[in-house]
Chain A
């Protein structure tokens, strides 16, 4: 039972570098908040400030309504899972999990029952006598999770916990973390640079850029209505196609002068975007009305299996279009990319969404 509230949190390093420039986030009880952004956007710093490992330059961090700015990590009653697991190399799995409880003076038999119960949940029971170096990456990851869970803290903090695992294991652990977090009902803050992890795990998705929150909301809302070109290009794989607009002879046009058949939704729009899956390709010469039609040259085809991605040159830009199944187009084909008008996103000069 805990909420995490950040109010205008800033971090300025002694060198003058401002890593976090005023972030306010409210994480409701039992929800999982994912901070996502490119490296250097301040997401890890923010997490470490919630943990108490980094001092807060200004603003407040409150756990369960109580401001914890001046309280050390131990007293904040948080547990953290680190990127490199940070298991104690000389301790057995059992002791790794029991260490935090021992430091809190938990009675011995209670420690034992809690460690064993947690080990059972994470399927670590057979490994309790091993040392970290005798474990595989996935097992270490579980121990790191177990060390956090066994403490039964008010808040879980995850610092890119899956980035050292291979892709398959990452997928498994992602589902597992989500299930665990939901069944334990512990409020969590999760930092990642992987937009796929962010989309699938988050109850609240916070996209950060250069020390500021770029957009915050439910993952699918963020996906469907990105607030800026930055979010549009960061969330989604492959990212949204963004085409710069200029003033053509007859209304708006693309960078190379290709006229758009209809007026932008907003006069001040400077960029238009559409997702790869919201476009289609056709070899037909006649253009459907009420849609964006771009003549395009196929430059590369990526067949993934269930879908294929066509990389095309169109209107002076490189765009990606997703087609279901196998692509009929091949490299060198001239075709038309068609995107429905209601699926287009418009952004202004500053990159902010305008419609």
Chain B
């Protein structure tokens, strides 16, 4: 801290507390709503303190199956979303680290062409290529499958570029030392490159997991059966009818549950995440 006078401390704290309130209050209010009965929620104003329906609401959402979304339990939705988010995050990292490895450490014909092709795909997000992609998925019979949810989103120019930038900071001498030490391309990749990329991988994993978790448009298209819905789609479906019909208490519970896994990932990987963003541990 630069200023140590009490006034400055007070102001600094006030600003920070205000920021936290703005960010945290809606989440808190959702939590409050998730512990009330439907009647309480529909009769404003909503109390500021949690109600007594916590246990009932959460068990009903997790195990009861919510009528509005085709009798699928929140547990199933969480599983679907987790599989998809993990698949996207792991798949993106796997593919991009290998592509970056090839582009940075090997000399082959059309190397730069491939690099630019990957680079250009930055201009082609899912939304732009959604119709042809959907057609391909239908032809391959991948509608309502995890593969259909994951594979079209798995190529990542951004992650490839990030890994490329990182690999280019690895000194040539290190590569040569490994060659002299008898490490072939695979050995070098697994024994040296992968351990050195840990923090980058962790940071990317957090970002990509959340990216996968919050996917909306593509899962909406590629899943027809409620059984394959992700939690974001399900939430949307739950509120799609007249206000009185919507089981707001369960919507709130689902919303609360939907943000738990991303929070867990961020909290558990925070140390790695920050280190990955800040330094490259040389």
Contacts and interface: CB of A to CB of B under 8 A. Distances in A.
B182 A80 contact: no
A100 B192 contact: no
A88 B171 CA distance: 11
B196 A53 contact: no
B173 interface: yes
Given A82-B176, A133-B282, A88 B192 contact: yes
A73 B282 contact: no
A73 B187 contact: no
Interface in B154-208: 171, 173-174, 176-183, 187, 191-192, 195-196, 198
Contacts of A100: 180-182
Given A83-B173, A84-B173, A103-B187, A90 B179 contact: no
Contacts of B182: 74, 100, 103-104
Contacts of B181: 74, 99-100, 103, 147, 151
B281 interface: yes
B179 A53 contact: yes
A53 B176 contact: yes
B170 to A, nearest CB: 10
Contacts, number: 60
B180 A88 contact: no
A257 interface: no
A86 B173 contact: yes
Contacts of A82: 173, 176-177
Contact of A74 (B171, B179, B281): B179
A86 B187 contact: no
B282 A80 contact: no
A99 B187 CA distance: 11
A83 B176 CA distance: 12
A78 interface: yes
A51 B179 CA distance: 10
B180 A79 contact: yes
B180 A89 contact: no
Contacts of A40: none
A99 B180 CA distance: 11
Give the interface residue-count category, chain A. Answer: 20 to 34
Contacts of B281: 89
Best-surrounded residue of B182, B183, B191, B281 (most CB of chain A within 10 A): B182
A53 B192 CA distance: 18
A216 to B, nearest CB: 26
A99 B196 contact: no
A74 B195 CA distance: 22
Interface in B44-65: none
B196 A89 contact: yes
Contacts of B183: 99, 103
A82 B281 CA distance: 20
Contact of A73 (B173, B180, B195, B196): B180
B202 to A, nearest CB: 14
A303 B204 CA distance: 60
A142 to B, nearest CB: 15
Interface string B196-223: 1010000000000000000000000000
A72 interface: yes
A147 B173 CA distance: 14
A53 B174 CA distance: 12
B171 A86 contact: yes
B169 to A, nearest CB: 12
A89 B179 contact: no
Contacts of A74: 179-182
A86 B179 contact: no
Contact of A78 (B171, B180, B196): B180
Contacts of B178: 88
Contacts of B191: 88, 99
Interface in A318-343: none
Interface in A93-112: 99-100, 103-104
A89 B187 contact: no
Given A89-B282, A90-B195, A90-B196, A84 B180 contact: no
Interface in A40-90: 48, 51-53, 72-74, 78-80, 82-90
Nearest to B174: A86
A50 to B, nearest CB: 11
27 contacts: A53-B176, A53-B179, A53-B180, A73-B179, A73-B180, A74-B181, A74-B182, A79-B180, A80-B176, A80-B180, A82-B177, A84-B173, A86-B174, A86-B176, A87-B177, A88-B174, A89-B196, A89-B281, A90-B192, A90-B198, A99-B191, A100-B182, A103-B181, A103-B183, A133-B282, A147-B177, A147-B181
Given A74-B181, A89-B196, A104-B182, 14 more contacts: A48-B176, A53-B176, A73-B176, A74-B179, A74-B180, A79-B180, A85-B173, A86-B174, A88-B177, A99-B181, A99-B191, A100-B181, A133-B282, A147-B177
**Top 5 closest A-B pairs, CB basis?**
A103-B182, A100-B181, A86-B173, A86-B177, A74-B182
Interface of B: 171, 173-174, 176-183, 187, 191-192, 195-196, 198, 281-282
